[in-house]
Chain A
Amino acid sequence: MNDTIAAISTPLGEGAIAVLRMSGPRAIAIADTVFRAKVRARELPARVQQFGAICDGAQQLDEVLLTVFRAPHSYTGEDLVEIAGHGGVLVARRLLELLLKSGARSAEPGEFTQRAYLGGKMDLTQAEAVMDLITAQTDLALRAATEQLEGRLGERIRGLRERLIELLAHVEAFIDFPDEDITPDTGEALRSRLEIIRAETAALLATAGQGRVLREGVRTVIYGAPNVGKSSLLNLLLGYDRAIVSARPGTTRDVIEEVINLRGYPLRLIDTAGIRESDDEIERAGIARTRQQVGRADLVLHVVDASVAIADFSKQISDGEKIALLVLNKSDLGEHPDWREVEGVRISCRENAGLTQLEDAIIARITGGHAAQRDWTVAINARHQACLVQAFHFSDAARRALDDGLSPEFIAEELRAALAAVGAVVGQADTEEILGKIFATFCIGK
């Protein structure tokens, strides 16, 4: 048990909170790499909740309450970190992906419980009860996995696995049968096999975002200063008046959410209170919620009033914010010279102008410019994604080993790791399977 595992431990769905757990010797260290708060996780007293933010580099993913449990006083008997974030599958998944990227491993079904047993944290009665639970969970997970892996996605990942086995058969045959009269692929032929595998892994990884979009809709937050026309834009996109629109700044004080179908793409539109310094307590609370929403968004439509000069703060939001799309409203009033060089979509809510361009731009953003290749039947989830990221990493390493002219056993080492990562999704390949491929492909036998 010397690796660190992580999982979302609340049921998936729109609960009030989502709890992630991470257990293992590096749990606290990993938490510290992503947690921004007044106190670092490693300095926190045990079992005390600390408010802070989870950040992926500069980008804040969620504001959370984080609790540290130190070995052996935890559920698993190991160092354990619990992160309570906002409900919502998307945010929870993003947090999990970040933890996996930072060095944790996706937990197997029942693995936290297993560690609890092995750590001596369970008595007989509890053991019996939790056992049933694991069995049930496993069945569920198996069923879910099977359902998901039938059809195109399963086909493609199994294809990837088969390709890796073939490639390994060539490398292993080259290693294990030096005196045989066989010609396994080496050099360029090997490289081109590897390239196909890398490309396919990358293509599967690119579907990760689409998968989320399919399940939950693209969280699209309409954001901006008061009275720039955010609610008007919501109504425009909805096609009916959902939000109260007035000339008075600060009319929208709570968050409004609506799902629309934008040329076949589900879009979860979220209208927010305008951001400004305010003495009004209710408005201030609304502004706080707006900031939360931005943190959780897939896409931010940053609306500005293009008829007036650029205000300082609106510049900041767009800077470095990849997911933001700048919407320059009120084009009917004439554009202020400040905006002339600024890239963005120019619309007029009042005159219903620029809507097509805006829709084009939104779709380009959420599909990464590949709208035509959209294939909803192929989309991977967070666990698949973590595995495939690993597979990609190792096939990359295999290519480097090949480029550096390393001996084949090192290339095989990377390929085995890649195959294990893919195998974690569609079933592990054992040596027998690779040997079987070798004997089927090459005439071995002095």
Chain B
Amino acid sequence: MFVYPTTYDVIVIGAGHAGIEAAMASARLGCTTLILTQNLDSVGQMSCNPAIGGQAKGQIVREIDALGGVMGLNTDATSIQFRMLNSTKGPSVRSPRAQCDKKAYQFRAKAMLERQEHLDLKQGNAVRILVEDNGACGVETNLGLRFNGRAIVITTGTFMRGLLHVGLQNQAGGRMGDGFSTLSDSLKELGFEVGRFKTGTPCRLHGRTIDFAACEQQDGDNPPLPFSYLPEVLIREKHDIFSLNHWMDGVFHVEQLPCWVTHTNSRVHDIIRTNLDKSPLYAGKIEGVGPRYCPSIEDKVVRFAEKTAHQIFLEPEGRHTEEYYVNGVSTSLPMDTQYAFIRSIPGLENAEIMRPGYAVEYDYCPPTQLNHSLETQRVANLYFAGQINGTSGYEEAGAQGLVAGANAALKILGKPPLHLSRSDAYIGVLIDDLVTKGTSEPYRMFTSRAEHRLILRQDNADLRVTPLAQACGLVSAARWEKVQRKIADLEQLRTFACDTRFGETRIAQWILRPENSVEHLPAEIRAGFSADRWAAIEIELKYAGYISRQNDAIERLRASEEKHIPPQLDFSTLSGLRAETRQKLTQIRPETLGQASRISGITPADIALLSVLIQRSILPGSSQQAETPQVAQETDHVDP
């Protein structure tokens, strides 16, 4: 056993989207950090769709950026198409989405890791987590190498006991062409519960064999809107060959590529239906649970038999490749069936499949074993992020990575953790859902999961979370300065809108009429403030009623959200609670009364009892009388 001479503050296992954010956050906080990956050539790889953002996910990327993370800027630098989804709907459900150049994205990410201070990037296959005094203290690789670390973040994606299926053939691997990991065996030994999920990906086609004339063209937005709140740092540098896009003279320069739309038909469906017996899913070869929102084409054909056509997007994988991603036909059918049904789709009659679609099964650890900091309850200083927690999606992974990496570092530094609540961010909703409710399928974010959706907008992520990141030391001086300037500007503009008359009324009143908008104001009135400031104030004023309603709701919940349950409280010994309640509390170990109330099956009466018991556990020993309670007096009835 070779013990590596450096003892790291934080070791991150895995260099996917979660691992990158985790390592960067830890290193930015000044902790010596190691990021360990099985393959240095697949850092930040987009194993599925080479796209970032989308409904709710786009908001998450904006939040990651506002917390000082890297996903937003890396997307801005390497994207080949930008679109704002739901642009005709209200501001809170608009979401940015970008199609990325897959290779540029990952090479740029690797270069960034290599240049980050306090961060070492190494290739190695972690097989064991070392634990001492119930705290994680190191990692062992399959080559007998030992890295000592004070905290460990595991971000293994689909690699733990990954199993790939094409038809009835299968092979071990976390991604087609790559190896797998046995790390879940080590986690089981440590007592962690391990479950099995499944996901899938479609085939990739050679662009020169696609008849685009038979497809409908879908272009990006013009002008493209960047994800990052600091896009101006994207200047063209001499050796930065992986940044495709740059910021110059106040303009975001992007050369965009189109996507293409075609449809399946009944012939495609017939081919799939007659070959279902060769599907590992239908042949019972797959035990892992797949996501309902991302069904395979065989699932769609079976479950929605009445639908005669399904939409398919053909998405370029980059500017320097001819590979196209076939969005909508995720499948694990055998190659001959894939070949037959793909060639029955209009525009794809002569398409050459470069890589087959496949399903992947992998181990995950039910996330109810975690605290909100993403530290495990079982082993101190051990953190999980990404698909190991049962989530899906690069954005969900990146968000957890950032929180886990930051919290691992903050703990080593002896500082309080970074906590985002459900009313702060989608990331707060994501983590609270995971640790409180767990998940029965790979978890993806939807805007409908956020009860405070109207205030968790893509336009205000910086106002919501940058101050929280600043308090932890996660953001740069430039970013903090920019947010403070925005806050000050908005304050001024608010006053201006309330004081300045336009026609009969003041602007703040005038804007409330549905037919009025800032664009209709004369240029000289608008001149003092930039368009994005006006847009922010317009949202604030126009939706003031709804926004204040959500703020009231948040305020109402605050007391119970702030009522902490002592971490040492043993729920199983609490008499008076129903057995079912005790069991659930023991399993989830809620950190606050508010979190306890969100556990499924917990009633308001349970919470009433729990609050009493907490009170008791906090009060020192014997009966301490707070004050004589004014119990309702017995009054004789006096007939008035």
Contacts and interface: CB of A to CB of B under 8 A. Distances in A.
B635 A84 contact: yes
B616 interface: yes
B600 A430 contact: yes
B448 A131 contact: no
B89 A408 contact: yes
Band of interface residues on A = 35 or more
A17 B300 contact: no
A295 to B, nearest CB: 11
B576 A114 contact: no
B637 A2 contact: no
B611 A435 contact: no
Select the residue from B85, B299, B448, B546 with max chain A CB neighbours within 10 A: B448
B556 interface: yes
A49 interface: yes
A432 B453 CA distance: 16
Interface stretch (B63-71, B115-123, B302-310, B340-348): B302-310
A439 interface: yes
Contacts of B451: 416
A2 B555 contact: yes
Interface string A411-439: 01100100000000000001110111001
Contacts, number: 188
Contacts of B132: none
B56 interface: yes
Tell me whether chain A's interface is mostly helix, strand or loop, or mixed. mixed
Nearest to B606: A138
A406 interface: yes
A434 B448 contact: yes
Contact of A445 (B295, B453, B604): B295
A403 to B, nearest CB: 11
Contact of B611 (A16, A114, A431): A114
B86 A443 contact: no
Contacts of B293: 435, 439, 444-445
Interface string A157-196: 0000000000000001001111111000000000000000
Contacts of A51: 640
Nearest to A15: B637
A135 B632 CA distance: 21
B619 A124 contact: yes
B576 A135 contact: yes
A392 interface: no
B447 interface: yes
A405 interface: yes
B274 interface: no
A283 interface: no
A123 B624 contact: yes
Contacts of B622: 124
Select the residue from B295, B600, B632 with max chain A CB neighbours within 10 A: B632
Interface in A11-47: 16-17, 19, 21, 47
B493 interface: no
A2 B556 contact: yes
Band of interface residues on B = 35 or more
Given A75-B632, A445-B293, A125 B623 contact: yes
A137 B39 CA distance: 61
Contacts of A109: 604-605, 608
Interface stretch (A61-69, A218-226, A227-235, A266-274): A61-69
Contacts of A82: 632
A75 B627 contact: no
B56 A131 contact: no
B612 A127 contact: yes
B55 interface: yes
A120 B327 CA distance: 58
B328 interface: yes
Contact of A123 (B563, B626, B631, B632): B626
B304 A2 contact: no
A9 B454 contact: no
A241 interface: no
B605 A134 contact: yes
A132 interface: yes
Nearest to B450: A431
Given A65-B640, A120-B627, A413-B454, A108 B635 contact: no
A179 B626 contact: no
Interface in B440-455: 446-449, 451, 453-454
Nearest to B614: A117
B222 interface: no
Q: Top 9 nearest A-B pairs by Cβ distance?
A: A407-B90, A181-B311, A114-B608, A138-B605, A108-B604, A443-B304, A439-B292, A110-B608, A16-B637
Interface of A: 1-3, 9, 16-17, 19, 21, 47, 49, 51, 63-65, 69, 72-75, 80, 82, 84, 87, 108-111, 113-114, 116-118, 120-127, 130-132, 134-135, 138, 172, 175-181, 404-410, 412-413, 416, 430-432, 434-436, 439, 443-446
9 contacts: A2-B558, A47-B630, A51-B640, A69-B630, A87-B637, A114-B607, A176-B446, A408-B90, A434-B448
Interface of B: 49, 54-56, 85-86, 89-90, 92-93, 263, 292-295, 299-300, 303-304, 307, 309-311, 313, 327-328, 330, 437, 446-449, 451, 453-454, 514, 543, 546, 549, 555-556, 558-559, 563, 576, 600, 603-605, 607-609, 611-612, 615-616, 619, 622-627, 629-632, 635, 637-638, 640
